Structure 1
Amino acid sequence: MTADKGPRDDRWYLSLMSPNTKGPQFAWLDPTSIYINSVAFGDLLDDLTAELDADQIDVVAGLDAMGFVLGAALGARLGRGFLPIRKAGKLCVDTDKVSYGNYSGRTQDMEMRTPAFAPGTRALLVDQWVETGGTMDGAIRLVERQGGVVAGIVTITMEENERTEAYRKAYKVVSAVLPGSRWQAEANAQRLSSFDTYEARRTFPTAGRTPAP
């Protein structure tokens, strides 16, 4: 069966994302099943890079931890290097550190190597999911404290709230979930209708094949 991708705003691969099965201490969904499937991951990267201009980006910075996967893949597609922004205590070099509030309401520390780049470097910030925007705020502060320029923000989806609305006004934001789409409304409600028919076998790895029907 060939996957029906539909128009660009359909984003068929979003239906492969897994619901949370472990309780409220975890994020409400798991996007990594998109990465497992080669067709889905390829189409996700196609949609994201279609809205990016590599000439406006010097480096791609991924946020710990799953932003590493999406960020590194985008960096490779764009022909740009990759800079990890990590949770505190993970880097064995000199670092700059900020505190931020994550989606669970806990305060954590985030670090970036120093120096990471020359002043004026344009860094594209990537995380797989932006919920409250607290983690992204920490990354923005780290980049700007070293004299970098935020070239934009890329994510699978950015939920809509006061802080994320400010991001869309201040920066170029590219998300697989398009504002105004049904996917955006469901992301804001933190429950996708595709959860009702979710089957893990549809996400199984592919080698040039479409997902299972």
Structure 2
Amino acid sequence: MDLSTVKDMIRIIPDFPRAGISFKDITTVVKDGEAFKYVINEMAKRCADKDIDLIVGPEARGFIVGAPLAYQLGVGFVPIRKPGKLPAEKIRKEYQLEYGFDAMELHKDAIKPGQKVLIVDDLLATGGTIITAVKLVEELGGKIAGLMFLIELTELGGRETLRGYDVISLIQYPY
């Protein structure tokens, strides 16, 4: 198994969820035990030199790659959720979508000041979701150790949005 094989496994669906979007479907990778294990192991290798206390993953696909990576590294996993999903006291940040706004929430007690946090998601596009996750973590005093993605859409400017942070991606597509 190698990254080229994994990239070939990713299903590309044109015009989903709307015209002009080329959706990168990772379900074809995560349903294959060997490929999924390889991806998580590769992510673990790429952050082995970081002193990480926690992994944070945004809903929903950040859970898919973030939780097993946290398990592999022997650290905790903290979910960032859509509004109304977290039961305890939380903080909230709104962010802009192409057509409107959305929000994400994080439990106030999820991160202790000074903890080193790796934020993990399946895909980096414009960086809007992840910069919002960064702001939530930093509001609680967490220190960003890095931002890790299975896929990066290089032409959409996500790295520029996340300038100043260590961005790691396994597979790149122009768009």
- Displacement of 1:21: 6.1
Q: How does 1:104-115 map to 2 (within 5 A)?
A: 104-115=98-109
Cα pair distance change 1:70/1:163, threshold 3 Å: closer
Regions of 4+ moved over 3 Å: 21-27
- Displacement of 1:76: 0.5
- Displacement of 1:72: 0.1
Q: Does 1:95 align with 2:78?
A: no
Q: 8 Å contact 2:13–2:25 — kept in the other structure?
A: yes
Unaligned 5+ residue runs, structure 1? 178-183, 190-213
Cα pair distance change 1:96/1:27, threshold 3 Å: farther
Whole-angstrom CA distance in 2 between matches of 1:147 and 1:27: 36
Write out per-residue CA displacement over residues 131-184 of structure 1, whole angstroms, 9 at most, x where no aligned residue: 1110001100000001111110111122234442352x422222111xxxxxx3
| Greater Rg by CA | 1
Q: 8 Å contact 2:52–2:116 — kept in the other structure?
A: yes
Whole-angstrom CA distance in 2 between matches of 1:156 and 1:55: 18
Count of aligned pairs: 172
Q: How does 1:44-123 map to 2 (within 5 A)?
A: 44-53=39-48, 56-102=51-97, 104-123=98-117
Q: Cα RMSD over matched residues?
A: 2.0
- Displacement of 1:69: 1.0
Could you tell me which amino acid in structure 2 is paired with residue 12 of structure 1? Answer: T
Q: 8 Å contact 1:61–1:85 — kept in the other structure?
A: yes
Partner of 1:33: 28
Higher relative contact order (CA 8 A, sep 6+): 1
- Displacement of 1:16: 1.0
Bigger proportion of residues as strand = 2
